[in-house]
Structure 1
Amino acid sequence: MRYTYLTALISALLSTHAHSAAYVFPELGMMSVSTAGAGAQAIAEGAETAFANPASMTRIEQSTIAFNLEGVISDINYTDTGSTGAFSGGEHYSEAGTTMPAGSFYWVTPANDAVYFGLAIAAAGGSALDYGNNFSGAQLVTDTSLMTVQINPSLAFKIDEKLSVGVGLISEFGKIEQNMTSRNNERKLTGSGESVEFGYTLSAFYEVNKAHRFGAFYRSEINHDMDGDFKGDNLLKPASFNIVMPNIISISGYHSLSPNTAALWSASWSDFSKIKETTITLPNTSAAINRQWEDTYSLSLGMHYNLESQWRLETGVTYESSPQDDPTLQAPDVPTGEVWKLGVGASKDITTNLRMQLYYEYYYGGNSDIIYSLDGPENSQLKGEYDAAIHYLGVLFNYKT
């Protein structure tokens, strides 16, 4: 198998899980799923704020821990619209959705009246897909998984009764694995790699009064060079896969409109325009995969409503722009596109010290076309349409120790 073909295979590997926000999914760590992200940096009610906005930890009056248990169900469908060359002869319709568990842990504790410490162990991105060996693009991917886990210690400093600032360190472990097969399913190839990289967070929190508060959050870029290899029948080549988690800036507001009702909003920017290409390093050579991604923007609106039964209902909606809409620049995996999110949930104080939140979010990635070309004598093109959706559901517990 020539290096030029290996490079084509790698291009699928590095574009894994590319919905609107590519491989960044705040639903795995931010824990504002019930409002589709609205108010994430301003709600500041539980220990999960150690991940969403460390500066707002100053609202947590006593030591608190939080546990999140989550299920992620993806519904990814591919319909072939006339693939040619090496991509011809596959299934007309392929289902690639999977079901996977997720979880996270958070802890916030006051050091004194002005300094607060937080710790978050959560994911910022990751997913899994399984097309099967009869997928038209099986030479690029049959099944794949991407996992990231972040350990985020942080500090918050209370400047005065209204303003707080925060700073945090990110240590992120990333691991990727992808399987692919030859046209006749006689030869299989696996690419994998992993790395640990570091970044940081900066945040601010301003409480105008008991009814209105605002939060701002910056998460730095994390540049992964995942070292690993490609291996298969009579093949073992060391390789390094470059995956960038971009800079992200988010701002949020929380506004109490009445004793029972609150409005929430968020706006975010992700610096995907830095990712013009992806570099793959092999022995004595390297290659660049053309990406040409653009920055993405999102806007979220949500609401809290308190019932007389002490349950609080929560809902929200989000629109997020796409980093790439050109079918010829789409990746032969889950392509990019605009995203709409709808979140619902409910929370209740079970005891004085224990609070429970139930949540569900429907993440719709819409329909997007792909025309992926593979250089070679057969003039091969993978041509099709994707329909993508993800369901997030889970439960979050906050316990005051």
Structure 2
Amino acid sequence: MSRKITLTAVAVTAALMSVNVNAAGFQVNEHSASGLGRAFSGEAAVADNASVLARNPAAMTLFKTAEFSGAISIVDPDIDVEDNDFGQTAKDVAPLGIVPAGYYIHPINDRFAVGLAMFSNYGVATEYPADFNAGSSAGETSLITLNFNPNIAYRINEHFSIGGGVSLVYGDAELTRFLGSMAAAVDGGKPSDKSIKMEGDTTGWGWNVGALYEINDDHRFGLSYRSQVDLDFDGDFTDYTGLITGAANNTVPGSLSVVLPAIAEFSGYHALNSQWAIHYGIQWIQYSKFEELRGTGDQCTYNGQAGVCLLKDEDYDDNSRYSIGATYILNPTWTLRAGFAFDEQAGKSTLSIPDTDRYWYSAGATYTYSPKMTFDVGLTYLDGKEATFTEDGSSFTSTGGAIISAAQINYKF
């Protein structure tokens, strides 16, 4: 049975070789509908339902009874990439995506609580036309990751709590690239002919820690850190043209190592009175760890480099995301919220990732069905700054944004 070189290299090839629309780099922020409605401001401190587990395990000590939260987010992007020199535009390259998440928190006593989170921190899906001129850097890419994250929290005193957990990250990915403008280098080749393909799944381990400081019931601060996850792949590399392995339609053993960046977050929450609260946050992502995508194999030679199947250098820096929002309790049945966020560009714009600054405009609501059951909805318009860049001697421009919607159920046991 052949092995497949799995691509959370799509976490990079998706990152690297395609467009991600809902966050800078290839990060996924869609962890809850309640969070979406406030542009994910104050997420490590608000703790209005069990979805806080995605951001700060220490906040579990705020829960007096067991609680479950389940959410579905729908990302509907509209991204176009124009080849300014060739006069060709790839329209709507990012298909609609669905992001599920689930959380359960169980207080053991007044000091200890445990919980389980299942969500995603990274993922992407893009589909360029098969005959796109830049098909060797575009094509079709799909990455799905799921983080299984058990946690424990401990209340040290009435003001300070700590928490931590481990993560088993599962990734499933598929990558197809086409010849595009490279067709002239292949006898009888057409731009829509495949050049390489990678697919498969893998797992990797990580960890997370958090702290919560409560001034009182109305004012608190949260701080959390989620480690990088190292994904190591051994599998197969398929070369359709023979330009890399020396034989067309050739499959050879290959290996690949990928780092998913670490994430740190600081949040604040302040209830101003019985109806109004404000919340804010700063998130830092260690994208500087993401330096290149390098696939290796004894039978590969890429651009004269023996033992290399695929290589793409990246120019990434650590980036930040800033958010602020407000919550208004209209009455015992309805709670309203809104937020704004600025998501800073993480990497130099390339055809792989025409990364850019992004602006989040969000609103949402909670409907209290009963003392035990509530429902959340959230809606965000994400506006991406237009980016023009040069790669391989050609000029490209990316434009567009996304509509993100989400629904969530919360139940107290």
Instruction: Tell me the distance in 1 between the aligned counterparts of 2:33 and 2:124.
Output: 16
* Structure 2 letter corresponding to 1:68: A
Give 1:398 shift.
0.8
Which deviations, in whole Å up to 9, do the C-alpha atoms of 1:163-193 show, x marking residues without a partner?
1100110110122211122241463232224
When the two chains are superposed, the root-mean-square deviation of aligned CA atoms in Å is 2.2
Answer whether contact 1:339 1:363 (CA < 8 A) is retained.
yes
Answer whether contact 1:268 1:298 (CA < 8 A) is retained.
yes
Larger mean Cα displacement after TM superposition, 137-146 or 117-126: 137-146
* Structure 1 letter corresponding to 2:379: Y
- 1:39 paired to 2:42: yes
Alignment map for 1:286-305 (pairs within 5 Å): 286=308, 288-305=311-328
Answer whether contact 2:125 2:141 (CA < 8 A) is retained.
yes
Which deviations, in whole Å up to 9, do the C-alpha atoms of 1:272-322 show, x marking residues without a partner?
122233322223513652212111012111000111363111111111221
Instruction: Tell me the distance in 1 between the aligned counterparts of 2:403 and 2:347.
Output: 23
* Structure 2 letter corresponding to 1:395: A
* Structure 2 letter corresponding to 1:181: F
Instruction: Tell me the distance in 2 between the aligned counterparts of 1:392 and 1:238.
Output: 40
Which deviations, in whole Å up to 9, do the C-alpha atoms of 1:180-238 show, x marking residues without a partner?
22241463232224321111001001111121111111000112224443334622133
Instruction: Tell me the distance in 1 between the aligned counterparts of 2:178 and 2:268.
Output: 49
Q: 1:342 aligns to what?
A: 361
Q: Helix, strand or coil for the counterpart of 1:169?
A: strand
- 1:351 paired to 2:348: no
Q: Helix, strand or coil for the counterpart of 2:151?
A: strand
Answer whether contact 1:255 1:263 (CA < 8 A) is retained.
yes
Instruction: Tell me the distance in 1 between the aligned counterparts of 2:361 and 2:234.
Output: 37
Q: 2:225 aligns to what?
A: 218
Give 1:334 shift.
3.6
Instruction: Tell me the distance in 2 between the aligned counterparts of 1:280 and 1:11.
Output: 12
* Structure 2 letter corresponding to 1:363: L
Give 1:13 shift.
5.1
Which deviations, in whole Å up to 9, do the C-alpha atoms of 1:104-135 show, x marking residues without a partner?
11000012221100100111111211112132
- TM-score for both structures, normalised by structure 2: 0.85
- Distance change in 2, residues 1:277/1:127 (3 Å): closer
Equivalent of 2:78, from 71, 75, 78? 75
Equivalent of 2:334, from 311, 330, 334? 311
Q: 1:187 aligns to what?
A: 193
Answer whether contact 1:29 1:124 (CA < 8 A) is retained.
no
Answer whether contact 1:41 1:251 (CA < 8 A) is retained.
yes
Instruction: Tell me the distance in 1 between the aligned counterparts of 2:237 and 2:15.
Output: 13
* Structure 2 letter corresponding to 1:190: K
- 1:274 paired to 2:299: no
- 1:398 paired to 2:410: yes
- Distance change in 2, residues 1:141/1:10 (3 Å): farther
Give 1:385 shift.
0.4
- Distance change in 2, residues 1:206/1:13 (3 Å): closer
Equivalent of 1:204, from 201, 211, 231? 211
- Distance change in 2, residues 1:192/1:33 (3 Å): same
* Structure 1 letter corresponding to 2:361: L
Give 1:139 shift.
2.6
Answer whether contact 2:14 2:142 (CA < 8 A) is retained.
no
Q: Helix, strand or coil for the counterpart of 2:378?
A: strand
Larger mean Cα displacement after TM superposition, 130-139 or 101-110: 130-139
Answer whether contact 2:336 2:366 (CA < 8 A) is retained.
yes
Q: Helix, strand or coil for the counterpart of 1:265?
A: strand
Structure 1 segments unaligned to the other structure (5+ residues):
1-8, 84-89, 374-380
- 1:127 paired to 2:124: yes
* Structure 2 letter corresponding to 1:175: D
Aligned residues: 376
Equivalent of 1:263, from 239, 260, 278? 278
Instruction: Tell me the distance in 2 between the aligned counterparts of 1:48 and 1:256.
Output: 20
* Structure 2 letter corresponding to 1:262: A
Instruction: Tell me the distance in 1 between the aligned counterparts of 2:316 and 2:285.
Output: 11
Equivalent of 1:386, from 371, 383, 398? 398
- Distance change in 2, residues 1:230/1:382 (3 Å): farther
Instruction: Tell me the distance in 1 between the aligned counterparts of 2:141 and 2:52.
Output: 31
Structure 2 segments unaligned to the other structure (5+ residues):
1-9, 181-189, 241-247, 300-306
Percent identity reads 25
Answer whether contact 2:104 2:117 (CA < 8 A) is retained.
yes
Q: 1:252 aligns to what?
A: 267
- Distance change in 2, residues 1:140/1:324 (3 Å): closer
* Structure 2 letter corresponding to 1:67: G
- Distance change in 2, residues 1:190/1:218 (3 Å): same
Equivalent of 1:230, from 237, 257, 261? 237
Which deviations, in whole Å up to 9, do the C-alpha atoms of 1:17-42 show, x marking residues without a partner?
45653111222469611111111001
Equivalent of 1:109, from 98, 106, 112? 106
Q: Helix, strand or coil for the counterpart of 1:95?
A: coil
Q: 1:97 aligns to what?
A: 94
Q: Helix, strand or coil for the counterpart of 1:208?
A: strand
Q: Helix, strand or coil for the counterpart of 1:32?
A: helix
Q: Helix, strand or coil for the counterpart of 2:124?
A: strand
Answer whether contact 2:11 2:260 (CA < 8 A) is retained.
no
Q: 1:6 aligns to what?
A: none
Answer whether contact 1:193 1:240 (CA < 8 A) is retained.
no
Answer whether contact 2:67 2:411 (CA < 8 A) is retained.
yes
